[in-house]
Amino acid sequence: MSEQVRSWLAAQREPMLKLLERVVNIDSGSYDKAGVDAVGEAFEDFFTRHGIEVERFARDISGDIFRARIPGPGNAPVVLMGHRDTVFPKGEVARRPFAIKDGRAYGPGVADMKGGLVLNAFVLAAFKQFGGHSAPLVALLTSDEEIGSPQSRGMIEETARGARAVYNSEPGRANGNVVSRRKGGVFMVLDVAGRAAHSGANFEAGRSAIHALAHKTVAIADLTDLALGITLNVGLVSGGQSVNTVAPAATGQIDMRYARHVDRDRVLEAIKTIVATEHVPGTSATLTIKGEFLPLEQSDGDARLLRHYQQAALRAGLTLEGESTGGCADSGFTSAVGTPTLCATGPVGGLAHTPEEYLDVDSLVPRAIALANAIADQTPAGP
């Protein structure tokens, strides 16, 4: 990498923080299309001011998708990826706007993952200004990762397919590590139908949907296999009409996590069998998949990319490892299409999805230089 790229990035701490403050101070929950779009427009403005071409792809429900690109040698790009949506409701910024205290930046989405988007934007700007990248560069800014990327997945897979590598700038772990393995997840709703009856005067005529859901909840939980990285959690339940009515309906929301692609269909079939079983005579149930992530299982290409990034990070003064997490991310989609993928290359942060979420301010520049080093070197390609 040219010394110009390195020196420029080394001087960008304050501009990075200024852009980070701007985008953190925009409410952008997954269902707040206007807010998510406003964050995208802030980055669009940044790219335009740096002479970087930006495309905008409209979405009818989630925020639009933005894709920035600078040309480079060859046809297979290196993709820098990240999402703009957060888990926080509208009004969260007013309650706790961007702030820096004792070396940490705070605010909704500061680490997960607006900090990573800022890092990606500045790395792209550095190469646009000074050159030295070993492939075309694409920055993909998606809009609905926190709800399973229902309107972004197609664009993610299209952009990643045939790319040389994908760096997903989710927050680096609190210990500085990146993520080399992630679980997949399937998020489902189980609806149970029964028959209402007066619970005192006509109890035997009723068919309790809550009773049936309880049986199914226990059976689904029993599919958990910690040794294989499979967990089943019925995390939300609701149902019934009144305390003195046999419940005519009940609903459970299911979180399924799995570490290996090979386990997905097997576990889903087991769940479907439980759903179809008439635990309480006269009741019935349906299962609906509401969202899904694929696992980042670490292919040979993923492993080579990790080693490549480790060497690049070492030259930026960072010693780190790859680690596993049960959290899901869009990196599973890109790895699944055969593109070498590494996750959590963003700034170091922690306590995501909580009011205490933070970003380590001093990690912004070194992590940007590490990513730039990895891009400038000949990034390994192939599955």
CATH 3.40.630.10 domain position(s) in the chain: 3-183+295-376
pLDDT the model gives residue 300: 95
d(CA 235, CA 333): 25
Number of H helices, E strands in the chain: 11, 18
Q: What is the pLDDT of residues 197-230, one digit of tens each?
A: 999 999 999 999 999 999 999 999 999 999 999 9
Mean pLDDT calculated for residue range 108-123: 98
d(CA 312, CA 272): 46
Mean pLDDT calculated for residue range 236-262: 98
The strand pairing partners of 284, in sequence order, are 193
pLDDT > 60? residue 187: yes
Q: Residue 6 has which token pair? A: 């390195």
* Residues whose CB falls within 8 Å of the CB of residue 258, separated by 6 or more in sequence, listed in order: 183, 184, 185, 186, 228, 229, 230, 264, 267, 295
> Cis bond leading into 113, ω under 30°?
yes
pLDDT the model gives residue 188: 98
CA–CA–CA angle 324, 325, 327 (5° rounding): 150
CATH 3.30.70.360 domain position(s) in the chain: 184-293
Q: Which fold has domain 184-293?
A: Alpha-Beta Plaits (3.30.70)
Mean pLDDT calculated for residue range 244-262: 98
Name the CATH code of domain 3-183+295-376 (choices 3.40.50.300, 3.40.50.720, 3.40.50.1470, 3.40.630.10).
3.40.630.10
> Are the C-beta atoms of residues 119 and 172 closer than 8 Å to each other?
no
pLDDT the model gives residue 234: 98
pLDDT > 80? residue 1: no
**In three state form, how does the secondary structure of 44-109 look?**
HHHHHHCCCEEEEECCCCCCCEEEEEECCCCCCCEEEEEECCECCCCCHHHHCCCEEECCEEECCC
Q: Residue 220 has which token pair? A: 């689904």
pLDDT > 70? residue 383: no
pLDDT > 70? residue 341: yes
Q: What is the pLDDT of residues 316-330, one digit of tens each?
A: 999 999 999 999 999
